[in-house]
Amino acid sequence: MAKIECPECGEQIETTGIVTVCAKCEADLREVMEAARRERDERMKTIVRDDSVTTHEFIVRTRDLKKIYIMGEIEVPALRDVDLDVRRGEYLSIMGPSGSGKSTLFNMIGGLDKPTAGRCFIEEVDMAQLDAFELAWLRCRKIGYIFQTFNLIPVMTAMENITLPMIFAGMGTDEMMDRGRELLDMVGLGDRLDHKPYELSGGQQQRVAVARALANSPAIVLADEPTGNLDLHTGKEIIDLLKELNQFSGVTIISATHDLKMIDVSDRVVHIRDGEIERIEHRADIDLEVGGMGE
Amino acid sequence: MLDVEGLAKATGAGGREEIRIQRQISLPWSEAVRISVRNVTMRLGRTMITASGIVLGIAFLSSIWTGGVIEDGLQQARLEQERELVAATARDQAESDSGKTEASAAISEEERRAQSSKRIWLVVMSLLVCGVGITNAMLMSVTERFREIGTMKCLGALDNFIVRLFLIEAMALGVLGSVLGTVLGHLAMLGIFAIRERSLSVAAKMDWGQMLTYLLLCVLIGTVLSLVSAIAPAVRAAHMRPAAALQSEI
């Protein structure tokens, strides 16, 4: 049952969808009803419940986040009560030796795995409360993922890889092609549209992955060791690309890494050890340190 | 210190823009078919191996059934010949041989029963063989793509998108593989019998109506088996948490 307004006479009509003409002036209401239905569906499926959420200061918050992996009979704690707030538009690096839990944290924030205990909020929405559809929606539109191993779909061209999330988001073909081209141009691969992943170098593949992560203009880009499989120079290029995106489009970037080059561009660096936040460095402090070393 | 507040405001505007164009998550059938076809054709080598599992299994089943129908046809022809012969002799010696004819008919009845139980055993065996073969082929082709499935889920695919993609693929492979297998098994058996009988008359002697039913049944069984055996691993893979799917290494 929905209340709609007749476009002709302004009469408020309650309808279940069976009656398609206005009771007063007999105007055709199908178009209006369709629009109302679509709007309602969107509202229901929208994780961002209202426009005001975009004013939340913290885009990601975790509270007492805990993850225990069970290996046979041994319980291995990967995260112990992690509290982390990430500001909108921030470039945050999560650093730590391998096995410190940074990838686990990445998975929790990205909604790729469920925490054993504790909560993780994206735009103040508790991820534990989301159903499968809402989670998929979140992954599709709110978060872009970049992986160490690129994870492009091997049978698809660069263009198809980038447009896949747009297909899921229901974008029209023309719009999709335009956006795909735009994104590939932006990462400097405008001439490699029809190349398959195996025809591209590691750095180029990662650029495609960056473009794919941005396909549906996400609010957050999550990167798990984005430079881990790249040489020094290509790694730097990817980092610069991420930083540019962060600065010009204001997308929040959260990157799990142990690449020290990341420190230069990060607003904050969270150091993780044994599943706990050891310390958080701010950019100002780092600049100071680097300056001190230079003298 | 970076102006985080300013950036926040900038994104805020972008975010609102985004909300206006929000639509639901979907995977149109046309796209699903396109992706599946691409998956099949791009990994042609791998696909061939999967398909050959189906082809071989169904070829086995098809050959058993073809052989059965041909043998029936030959036996029928032989029986008729015999009966004609008996009838001809019976005309000469009407009374004396009637007992003998009955005895020979009884023997052939017994023979046939033994033969048919042997054939049922063979059909059951071949069904098992192609069932196991197809299940294994499908299981592998899904399992080796866990990582891809995880990636797709990260990009916003719903569980049923993944299942849909694999079912379309299994359907295509199932139909193609079964048709090919059926034809191969059929032709092979025809060839063997033609050589054994040293004539192509075997084709004329068999019951084509029955043959066609069996061949269609082969295609149907092959398709259904590949669909059914793809469903379980596809559903399992689709339900995996992306983190687990991404970590799997094969």
Q: How far is CA A31 from the centre of its chain?
A: 34
How many CB atoms are closer than 10 A to CB A170?
16
Per-residue pLDDT of chain A (295 residues; tens, 9 = 90+): 456 777 777 777 665 555 666 767 777 777 777 777 666 556 544 433 334 445 567 889 999 999 998 888 888 888 898 899 998 889 999 998 888 888 888 889 988 888 999 999 988 888 888 888 888 888 898 899 999 889 999 889 999 999 999 988 888 889 899 999 989 988 888 888 899 999 999 999 999 999 999 998 899 999 998 998 888 888 998 998 898 888 888 899 999 888 888 888 889 999 998 888 988 888 766 665 555 444 3
A139 with B12: Cβ contact below 8 A: no
Beta carbons within 8 Å of A258's beta carbon, 6+ residues apart: A95, A96, A97, A98, A225
Distance from CA of A24 to the nearest CA of B (A): 32
Task: Give the nearest chain B residue to A53 (CA atoms).
Answer: B12
Q: Which residues of A touch B244 (CB under 8 A)?
A: 113
- Count how many pairs of residues, chain A against chain B, have C-beta atoms within 8 Å: 139
Distance from CA of A290 to the nearest CA of B (A): 15
- CB within 8 Å: A112 and B243: yes
CA–CA distance, A113 with B245 (Å, rounded to integer)? 10
Average pLDDT over residues B49-68: 86
Q: Using the beta-carbon criterion (under 8 Å), do B25 and A90 form an inter-chain contact?
A: no
CB A134 within 8 A of CB B156: no
CA B235, CA B222: separation in Å to the nearest integer?
Answer: 20
Cα–Cα distance, A126 to A269 (Å, whole number):
24
Determine the Cα–Cα distance for residues A255 and B192; give it in Å rounded to an integer.
66
Q: Which CA distances in Å does A116 have to A68, A75, A76, A80, A124?
A: 6, 12, 12, 10, 20
Report residue A197 as tokens.
């992943």
Residue with tokens 């509202």: A43
* Beta strands in chain A, from DSSP E residues, in sequence order: 2-5, 12-15, 58-71, 74-87, 91-95, 117-122, 125-126, 143-146, 220-224, 252-257, 268-273, 276-282
In A, which residues are within 8 Å of B26 by CB distance?
168, 170
What's the DSSP call for residue A228?
Answer: T
Task: Please give the Cα distance from B68 to B119 (Å, whole number).
Answer: 7
| Residue A86 φ/ψ, nearest 5 degrees | -115, 125
Contact A136 B31 (CB under 8 A): no
State the pLDDT at residue B103: 56
Interface test with B, best of A52, A168, A205, A210 (most B CBs within 10 A): A168
Q: Which residue of B has its CA nearest to A38?
A: B23
Q: Which residue of B47, B149, B152, B154 to mutate against A (max A Cβ within 10 Å)?
A: B154
Enter the DSSP assignment of A21.
B
Question: Considering only CB atoms, which chain A residues are within 8 Å of B2?
Answer: 267, 283
Predicted TM-score (pTM) of this structure: 0.73
Distance between CA atoms of residues A241 and B226, nearest Å: 45
Question: Which residues of B lie closer than 8 Å to A, measured between beta carbons?
Answer: 1-2, 4, 7-8, 10-12, 14-16, 18-19, 22-28, 31, 35, 38-39, 42-43, 147-148, 150-159, 161, 241-244, 246
Of B5-14, B176-185, B204-213, which range is least confident? Answer: B5-14
Name which of A46, A89, A164 is nearest B155 (Cβ-Cβ).
A164
pLDDT at B219: 92
> Which 8-state DSSP code applies to residue A138?
I
Burial of A46 (0-12, 13-18, 19+ CB in 10 A): middle
Q: Nearest to residue B163, comparing CAs of B145, B175, B181?
A: B145
Contact state of B4 with A55 under an 8 Å Cβ cutoff: no
β-partners of residue A220 are A143, A252
**Cα–Cα dist A13/A6, whole Å:** 7
How long, in residues, is chain A? Answer: 295
**A139 to chain B: nearest residue by CA?**
B156
Cβ pair A153:B31 closer than 8 A: no
Q: Model confidence at B183, in pLDDT bands (50, 70, 90)?
A: very high
The DSSP code for B180 is H
A43, A109, A122, A151: best mutation site toward chain B, by most B Cβ within 10 Å?
A151
Residues of A in contact with B150 (CB under 8 A): 112, 151
Of B185 and B98, more confident: B185
With 0-12 / 13-18 / 19 or more C-beta atoms within 10 angstroms meaning exposed / middle / buried, residue A137 is: buried
ipTM: 0.74
Contacts of B35 in chain A (CB under 8 A): 156
Percent of chain B with pLDDT over 90: 10
The answer to whether the CB of B194 falls within 8 A of the CB of B200 is yes
pLDDT at A287: 61
The minimal CB distance from B153 to the residues A41, A139, A171 is found for: A139
Q: Is the pLDDT of residue B222 over 70?
A: yes
Q: Which residues contact B190 (CB under 8 A, 6 or more apart)?
A: B66, B70, B202, B203
- Which tokens go with A113? 């795995």
Side-chain-side CA neighbours of A47 within 13 Å: the count stands at: 27
Confidence (pLDDT) at A2: 52
For chain A positions 51-80, those within 8 Å of chain B (CB to CB) are 51, 54-55, 57
The bridge status of strand A58-71 relative to strand A74-87 is: antiparallel
B155–A140 CB contact, under 8 Å: yes
* Chain A environment of B153 (Cβ under 8 Å): 112, 136, 139
* Distance of alpha carbon B46 from alpha carbon A123, whole angstroms: 43
SS (H, E, C) chain B: CCCHHHHHHHHHHHHHHHHHCCCCCCCCHHHHHHHHHHHHHHCHHHHHHHHHHHHHHHHHHHHHHHHHHHHHHHHHHHHHHHHHHHHHHHHHCCCCCHHHHHHHHHHHHHHHHHHHHHHHHHHHHHHHHHHHHHHHHHHHHHHCCHHHHHHHHHCCCCHHHHHHHHHHHHHHHHHHHHHHHHHHHHHHHHHHHHHHHCCCHHHHHCCHHHHHHHHHHHHHHHHHHHHHHHHHHHHHHHHCCHHHHHHCCC
Residue A48 to chain B, least CA–CA distance (Å): 8
Instruction: Provide the token pair at A43.
Output: 């509202």
A172 close contact with B: CB closer than 8 A: no
What is the rounded (10 degree) CA torsion for A171, A172, A173, A174?
-110
Spell out which residues of chain B touch residue A137, defining contact as CB-CB under 8 Å: 24-25, 156
Measured between CB atoms, does A88 come within 8 Å of chain B?
A: yes
Residue B76's pLDDT band, with cuts at 50, 70 and 90, is confident
Taking CA–CA distances from B12, the nearest residue in chain A reads A54
Strands of the sheet with A268-273, listed across from one edge: A143-146, A220-224, A252-257, A91-95, A268-273, A276-282
